[in-house]
Amino acid sequence: MICQAAGSCRQRGFTLLELTVVLLVVVLGFSVIGLNLSSGNDSTEIKAAARDIVSALRYARGQALMTRQEATVTVDLSDNSYTVSGRDKRYPLPKAINLTVVTAQNELTEQGTANIRFFADGSSTGGRVTLERGQAKWKIDINWLTGQVELENE
C-alpha cells in the first residue's frame, strides 16, 4: 500500500480479472503451438519411416561391398515391414503408411514380398520404394548400376 501525505492510499498490483485474462492468453498461445506440432506428426512419421528404409538399404549395400556377398532388403507389403539379410529383426512400419515397391520381376514373390538385392560389386537389382500417407509422399530410388540410394520428397 502506498500512502501519500494528503492521506490518500492506493494499492499497487494486479486485479484478479487482469491475471485471469493474462492466463487465458497464455493458454490459448500454448494450444495453438500444440496444434501446429501435432499437425506435423503425419509428415514426421512418414519421413522417419523413409529414412529408416534408406538406412537399411545403405547398410545392405555396405555389407555386400565389405563381405563380398549378396545382401538383400526384403519388404513385406502384406504387413508393412522389412528385414535386412544377416539380421533376425523385422522392422515394422506404421499401418497408415501405404507402401509400394518396384523392383526386378524375379525379386517379387507370391507371398507379397519384394527384394532389393545388392551385389558384391556395389550394384543392385535397383528399384523404387514409395511411401504415402495422406498428402505426404516420399520415394526412395535405388540405382541398379551403382546401388546408390536416394531419398526424395514428392
Specify the number of domains making up the chain.
1
pLDDT at residue 154 in the model: 80
State the average pLDDT over residues 111-119: 95
CA torsion through residues 79, 134, 132, 51, sign: negative
In this predicted model, which residue has the larger pLDDT, 95 or 35? Answer: 95
The answer as to whether 68 is a domain residue is yes
- Of 38-42, 49-53, 67-71, 119-123, the one with minimum mean pLDDT is 38-42
**d(C-alpha 154, C-alpha 46), whole Å:** 12
The answer as to whether 73 is a domain residue is yes
State the average pLDDT over residues 54-67: 96
The answer as to whether 138 is a domain residue is yes
pLDDT tens by residue, 13-60: 778 888 888 888 888 887 777 665 555 567 889 999 999 999 999 999
The answer as to whether 30 is a domain residue is no
Q: Would you say 65 and 122 are in contact if contact means Cβ atoms under 8 Å apart?
A: yes
Q: What is the pTM of this model?
A: 0.74
The answer as to whether 28 is a domain residue is no
- Domain of 111? 42-153
The answer as to whether 11 is a domain residue is no
115: its cell numbers: 527384394
CATH code at position 93: 3.55.40.10
The answer as to whether 124 is a domain residue is yes
**d(C-alpha 154, C-alpha 152), whole Å:** 6
The answer as to whether 129 is a domain residue is yes
